[in-house]
Structure 1
Amino acid sequence: MLILSANDQQKLIEMPEVIDAVSIALEEYSAMRTETPVRTVLNVEKAGGHAIFMPSVAENAGSLGMKYVGSFPNNKQIGKAAINGVVLLADVQTGEPQALLEGSYLTVMRTGALSGAATKYLARENSKVLAVIGTGAQAIGQCEAIMAVRNIEKINLYNRSEKKAYDLAKQLRARFDVEVIVCQDADRAIDGADILVTATSSTTPVFSSRLAPGVHVNAIGSYQPTMQELPTHVVSSADKVVVESAEAALEEAGCLYIPIQEGEFTPSRIHSELGFIVSDEAAGRESDEELTVFKSVGFAAADIVVAKYFYEKALRENIGQRIMM
Structure 2
Amino acid sequence: MLLLNRADIGRCVELPTLVRALEIAHRGFARSAPVVPQRSIITHERQKAFSLFMPAFLPASQTLGIKVSSFHPGNAVHGLSAVNGVVMLIDVESGRLLAMLDSAALTAIRTSAMSALATDKLCPKMRLNLVVIGAGAQAAAHIWAMAAIRELGQVRIFSRCLARSIALAERLSIELSLPVEAVERMEQALADADIVCTTTSHDSPLPLIGVHQLKPDAHINAIGGSTQWACEIDPRLLGNTQVYVDHLDAACRESGEIAQALALSVIERKDIREISALAVEQPSPVTRKQGLSYFRSVGHASQDMVVAACLYDAAVAGHIGKQCDYFSA
Normalising by structure 1, report the TM-score.
Answer: 0.93
Identical counterparts, % of pairs: 29
The number of residue pairs the alignment matches comes to: 323
DSSP-derived class of the 1:148 partner: helix
> Following superposition of structure 1 onto structure 2, how do residues 198-209 of structure 1 map, counting pairs within 5 Å?
198-202=198-202, 203=204, 204-208=206-210, 209=212
Select which of 269, 272, 281 maps to 2:271.
Answer: 269
DSSP-derived class of the 1:67 partner: strand
Inter-partner Cα distance in structure 2 for 1:266 and 1:192: 30
TM-superposed CA distance for 1:127, in Å, is 4.1
Q: 1:293: which partner in 2?
A: 294
Inter-partner Cα distance in structure 2 for 1:134 and 1:263: 29
- Change beyond 3 A, Cα 1:235–1:90: same
Q: 1:225: which partner in 2?
A: 228
- Change beyond 3 A, Cα 1:257–1:173: same
Please identify, of 303-312 and 66-75, the stretch whose mean Cα deviation from structure 2 is larger.
Answer: 66-75
Inter-partner Cα distance in structure 1 for 2:77 and 2:52: 21
Cα contact 1:28–1:34 (8 A) shared by 2: no
TM-superposed CA distance for 1:289, in Å, is 1.6
Inter-partner Cα distance in structure 1 for 2:186 and 2:257: 17
Cα contact 1:276–1:282 (8 A) shared by 2: no
DSSP-derived class of the 1:60 partner: coil
DSSP-derived class of the 2:84 partner: strand
Inter-partner Cα distance in structure 2 for 1:174 and 1:5: 24
TM-superposed CA distance for 1:282, in Å, is 7.7
Aligned CA RMSD, in angstroms, stands at 2.1
Please identify, of 180-189 and 277-286, the stretch whose mean Cα deviation from structure 2 is larger.
Answer: 277-286
Please identify, of 136-145 and 285-294, the stretch whose mean Cα deviation from structure 2 is larger.
Answer: 285-294
Unaligned runs of 5+ in 2: none
- Change beyond 3 A, Cα 1:293–1:32: farther
Inter-partner Cα distance in structure 2 for 1:257 and 1:213: 23
- Change beyond 3 A, Cα 1:181–1:80: closer
The code of the aligned residue for 2:49 comes to G
Inter-partner Cα distance in structure 2 for 1:31 and 1:234: 33
Inter-partner Cα distance in structure 2 for 1:76 and 1:179: 27
Alpha-carbon displacement from aligned partner over 1:242-262 (angstroms, at most 9, x marks no partner): 111111111111111112222
Q: 2:94: which partner in 1?
A: 94
Q: 2:175: which partner in 1?
A: 175
Please identify, of 279-288 and 194-203, the stretch whose mean Cα deviation from structure 2 is larger.
Answer: 279-288
TM-superposed CA distance for 1:301, in Å, is 0.7
DSSP-derived class of the 2:68 partner: strand
Q: 1:308: which partner in 2?
A: 309
Inter-partner Cα distance in structure 1 for 2:216 and 2:32: 33
- Change beyond 3 A, Cα 1:189–1:277: same
Inter-partner Cα distance in structure 2 for 1:230 and 1:285: 25
Cα contact 2:122–2:293 (8 A) shared by 1: yes
Inter-partner Cα distance in structure 2 for 1:268 and 1:178: 40
The code of the aligned residue for 1:323 comes to C
Q: 1:8: which partner in 2?
A: 8
DSSP-derived class of the 1:279 partner: helix
TM-superposed CA distance for 1:180, in Å, is 1.6
Inter-partner Cα distance in structure 2 for 1:163 and 1:122: 33
Cα contact 2:123–2:288 (8 A) shared by 1: no
Q: 1:53: which partner in 2?
A: 53
